[in-house]
Amino acid sequence: MNKIVLIILILGLAVALGVVFGSAGNGGQAILNSEIRDGVQYITIDAKGGYSPKVSIAKAGIPTKLIVKTNGTYDCSASLVIRSAGFQQILPQTGETEIDIGAKNPGETLQGVCGMGMYSFAINFEDA
């Protein structure tokens, strides 16, 4: 009987760990994390130990601003480079940085990367 209880506990722990660690980030799946206010699209990404979400979906043809949030970010994800936007900056350790990335065409992808090239994110632009 003790073996069955032990097996059930181990399986329960494995499932719990899978839920906790599997839900950290978006696993590379694209998500819609934007909102449109006053004709401007805002996309929000968190920077700490990498970027979250790793892949975002946004509408093409709309003036777009990227909001990068930091909260006690001391790693290389605070050193952000977006080559296609001509952006390279050390972000504040805590705060929000607004980056104007303009209106993108359908099918375009904006890539962001940390200064060391360890962490990256992408924003895929689709038909509005």
CA pair distance 126, 86, nearest whole angstrom: 22
Question: pLDDT value at position 24?
Answer: 40
Q: What is the pLDDT of residue 25?
A: 47
Q: Which residues contact 8 (CB under 8 A, 6 or more apart)?
A: none
User: How far is residue 105's CA from residue 124's CA, in Å, rounded to a whole number?
Assistant: 10
Helix (H) or strand (E) holding 26: none
Class of the CATH-defined domain 26-126: mainly beta
Helix (H, G, I), strand (E, B) or coil at 10: helix
How many of the other CB atoms lie within 10 Å of CB of 58?
24
- CA neighbor of 110 nearest in space, from 46, 71, 60: 60
pLDDT for res 38: 96
The per-residue pLDDT string of the chain (128 residues; one tens digit each, 9 = 90 and over) reads 676 655 665 655 554 444 333 334 455 566 668 899 999 999 999 999 999 999 999 999 999 999 999 999 999 999 999 999 999 999 999 999 999 999 999 999 999 999 999 999 999 999 97
Rounded Cα distance between 91 and 70, Å, is: 8
The pLDDT tens digits for 92-110 are: 999 999 999 999 999 999 9
Residue 63 identity (one-letter amino acid): P
Look at residue 5 in the predicted model and tell me its pLDDT: 53
